[in-house]
Amino acid sequence: MANPPISVWNPATEDQIAEVHSFTRDEVTSAIAKAEAAQRLWRLLPIAERQAFLFAVADIVDRHRDELAALESRDVGKPIRAARAEVAGVASCFRYYAGALDKSHGDTISLDDGVSLTFHEPIGVVGIITPWNFPLPIASWNIAPALAAGNSVIVKPATLTPLSTHRLGELIAGITPIDGLFQVVTGAGSTVGAALIEDPRVGKISFTGSTEVGRSILRSSADTMKRVTLELGGKSANVVFADADVAAAAAAAPWAVFDNSGQDCCARSRILVQRSVLDDFIDGFVAATKALRIGAPDSTDTDLGPLVSAEHRETVAGFLDPGLDYLYRGEAPEGRGHWMAPHIVLDPSAKSRAAVEEVFGPVAVVIPFDTEEEAVALANDSIYGLSGSIWTRDVARSLRVARQIESGTLSVNSNSSIRVQTPFGGVKQSGMGRELGLEGLLNYSELKTVYLKTDV
């Protein structure tokens, strides 16, 4: 029996903008069978043909950049400027892995009685489950290396924001050399996601989302011994030392936490500031935050759009205890839309829910510290370890502190976490495995060792 379609809503207007098909478990099972057959053919194609296909995907994304960005903007509530930049990044990701495809080499290991060769073999069928906050970019970080490694791919986008990924599937279907090589299956995680996770023909699951759901996927994947990559929650620290360019750190801090309206697992929502420069930092941070423009996502003047849904806005609002010491509470637009303005809290104890838990909204907590040792201890006082920043002019300190902070990705005098050329991922309960860079390509392959005896 068919499932009812998925209604898709614009978070800025609360209007329904589309309906998409909700796959049944039987339909997902059929998609897996197609993907399995496609992968057997795909892995045997000459490297040049596989590269040409990935370059063609990049080209078609470029040609449809405005269309894909508009879908992303309306679906997520993302400002159109950000959406266009993200779609450009999707094309760059496919080009990177097209170029990397023929550069994944094994090793030759000399032995006393022979030689061993190692090969990076494809896993088979890969299931990719993507989040609602950055639908296309995060999908591309996994689709491109998975295809480059010789796998077939099935993507399940979030039910809140499926439109851009669904459209990407249509565009790729028009140029794919093998039917079933890349498929998009839309529907609830309890049906579509579970079908991918439980089917033994799916060799790997990549999931981006909450730590709670990640734990559940890890447990469910154990029955079939699936390979799993998990990119989960974060509560990243932004550490500002007194010897830093404090004005630059303060000016950059709003984008580190409020970009995408704070709906970012890399958000530097814990801002640790050395006490001697606390007042100067706060003055600059509040001034830069006040300059952010909140409004209609389709305007090129907009910096921050709405939150993704009424339910999520209610969740974020639950962190805004009236008893907190607010340094700044912005004003959101009135009327329809799931709006929430930035909030900045001072919490010297670092014990409030806003200071400890992942908010996933426009809430920043400023926490003072005195010594380098205290800063490291505060940064590490979290179950998460995804990203973070260190602001200092002392190169030795930057490396010393970076080596001590428990995080998968750190930036010095910058708030940037993501580059297609470098690996990205978390430690502790922020996940396992790595996306992007050449490590992202290896993450979608199995290592095979072949021994040749020569003393015969």
**Any catalytic annotation for residue 231?**
yes
Distance of CA 394 to the CA centre of its chain: 31
Angle at the Cα of 28 from the Cα atoms of 26 and 34, rounded to 5 degrees: 110
Q: How far is CA 144 from CA 50, 94, 162, in A?
A: 11, 5, 18
Q: Running DSSP on this structure, what letter comes out for residue 190?
A: I
- CA 224, chain centre distance (Å): 25
Residue 71's φ and ψ, nearest 5 degrees, are -60, -45
Q: With 0-12 CB in 10 A as exposed, 13-18 as middle and 19+ as buried, what is 18?
A: middle
Using alpha carbons only, give the angle 134, 296, 420 rounded to the nearest 5 degrees.
25
Q: State the residue for tokens 């997902």.
A: 28
Catalytic annotation, pick one of 72, 231, 358, 435: 231
Pairing of strands 125-129, 182-184: unpaired
- E-strand spans in 185-242? 202-208, 227-231, 237-240
State how beta strands 363-369 and 270-274 pair: parallel
CB neighbour list of residue 373: distance below 8 Å, 6 or more residues apart:
none
Whole-Å CA distances, 134 to 83, 300, 456: 9, 19, 57
Residue that is written with structure tokens 């495995």 in the block: 433
Per-residue tokens: 115: 């030689």
CA angle 377, 345, 267 (to 5 degrees): 65
Q: Which residues of 287-318 are buried (b: 16+ CB within 10 A; e: fewer)?
A: ebbeebebbbbeeeebbbbbbbbeebbeebee
For the record, the structure tokens of 272 come out as 């640790």
Whole-angstrom Cα distance, residue 23 to residue 29?
10
Tell me if 262 sits within 8 A of 330, measured CB to CB.
Answer: no
Q: Is 206 helix (H, G, I), strand (E, B) or coil?
A: strand
End-to-end CA distance of the chain: 63
Whether 407 and 427 have beta carbons less than 8 Å apart is answered as yes
Q: Return the active site residues.
A: 231
